[in-house]
């Protein structure tokens, strides 16, 4: 399952151009005609690390920042998108305007997801630093020390990551259903088995991708996939806790059993009955 997840990552990365074009078409339905999206008001290398692409809708450009001759600094990203939606879709109702704004942002993220840079980690733009710089067209230089440090290998999520997570989760669910079909295992046993299988599947995918990253092979597939790493750690923790609980229950049951055997007033038959019940 883990290997299939990695193979799907390679496949999805290979189809990134087509996916981007597909999602850009959908994004076009929620775009105003008045120029580029406010999410792209910052340009340049790694501009997604700087502004607008990390889900932080309260982020704002520095005071005095202008775009297309209008002042856009000091206002939240969401208010900038809303303003563009009002201009582009003047007949929209209050709720319709907000729905369009949310769909604009969501489809913009979707069209950026298949690209090699993907999207930065949520709320990473909190680390963005702006410096006035007259040598730039925007009048500002910007950097994000957090994202510069982790880079796209450790600090981004893209469509291939999502596809890999989705296929592994689906295969795990199918395997679980087949394994326990018409068996009467306890719910606890089923949960533990599922958690352990998840650790193996997600762990395999994660190790392969990290090995590819270390070896510098397979380009964009070599990275830390947070959507895989998260469930791996979650299920590893769950497995440990469930196994510990099972162990504790077993030790308690042994103690009870030994206590009955040690009790001289009770017959051996009593112990056998206790064990069987």
Partner 1 sequence: MRMTDHALNAASEYHFESSDEYCAPELVDQAAGAVRTSHNLNPADRAQLQAIVDLEKLRFAFAYNDISLKEHGQQIQALRKQLIERHGREPFDNGKIEKAFYQALNQAYGYAD
Residue placing its CB nearer to partner 1 in the complex, 147 or 195? 147
Instruction: Judge whether 21 and 87 are in contact, CB under 8 Å.
Output: no
Find the Cα–Cα–Cα–Cα dihedral 223, 224, 225, 229, rounded to 10°.
150
CB of 13 to partner 1, least distance (A): 13
CB of 137 to partner 1, least distance (A): 5
Residue placing its CB nearer to partner 1 in the complex, 136 or 255? 136
Q: How many CB atoms lie within 10 A of CB 239?
A: 19
Which residues here bind partner 1, judged by CB under 8 A? 35-36, 40, 42-47, 67-69, 116, 134-139, 141-142
Angle at which helix 159-179 crosses helix 2-14, to 10 degrees, equals: 150
Residues 6+ apart with CB under 8 A from 168: 1, 2, 4, 5, 201, 202, 205, 228
CB of 244 to partner 1, least distance (A): 46
Residue placing its CB nearer to partner 1 in the complex, 2 or 38? 38
Residue placing its CB nearer to partner 1 in the complex, 49 or 232? 49
CB of 128 to partner 1, least distance (A): 13
CB of 36 to partner 1, least distance (A): 4
Residue placing its CB nearer to partner 1 in the complex, 152 or 190? 152
CA pair distance 125, 29, nearest whole angstrom: 27
């Amino acid at each position: 399952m883990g290997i299939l997840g990695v193979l799907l990552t390679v496949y999805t990365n290979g189809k990134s151009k087509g996916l981007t074009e597909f999602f850009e078409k959908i994004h076009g339905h929620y775009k105003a005609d008045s120029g580029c999206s406010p999410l792209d008001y910052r340009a340049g290398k790694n501009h997604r690390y700087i502004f607008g692409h990390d889900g932080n809708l309260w982020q704002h450009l520095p005071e005095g920042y202008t775009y297309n001759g209008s002042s856009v600094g000091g206002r939240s990203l969401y208010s900038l998108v809303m303003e563009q939606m009002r201009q582009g879709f003047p007949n929209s109702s209050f709720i319709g305007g907000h729905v369009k704004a949310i769909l604009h942002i969501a489809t913009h993220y979707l069209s950026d997801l298949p690209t090699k840079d993907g999207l930065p980690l949520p709320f990473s733009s909190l680390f963005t630093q702006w410096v006035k710089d007259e040598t730039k067209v925007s009048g500002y230089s910007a950097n994000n020390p957090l994202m510069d440090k982790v880079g796209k290998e450790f600090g981004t999520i893209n469509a291939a990551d999502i596809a890999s997570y989705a296929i592994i989760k689906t295969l795990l669910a199918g395997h679980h259903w087949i394994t326990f079909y018409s068996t009467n295992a306890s719910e606890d046993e089923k949960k533990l088995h599922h958690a352990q299988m998840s650790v193996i599947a997600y762990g395999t995918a994660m190790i392969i991708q990290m090995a590819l990253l270390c070896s510098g092979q397979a380009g964009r597939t070599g990275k830390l996939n947070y959507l895989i790493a998260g469930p791996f750690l979650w299920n590893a923790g769950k497995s440990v806790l469930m196994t510990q609980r099972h162990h504790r229950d077993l030790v308690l049951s042994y103690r009870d059993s030994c206590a009955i055997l040690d009790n001289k007033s009770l017959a051996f038959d009593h112990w056998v009955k206790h064990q069987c019940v």
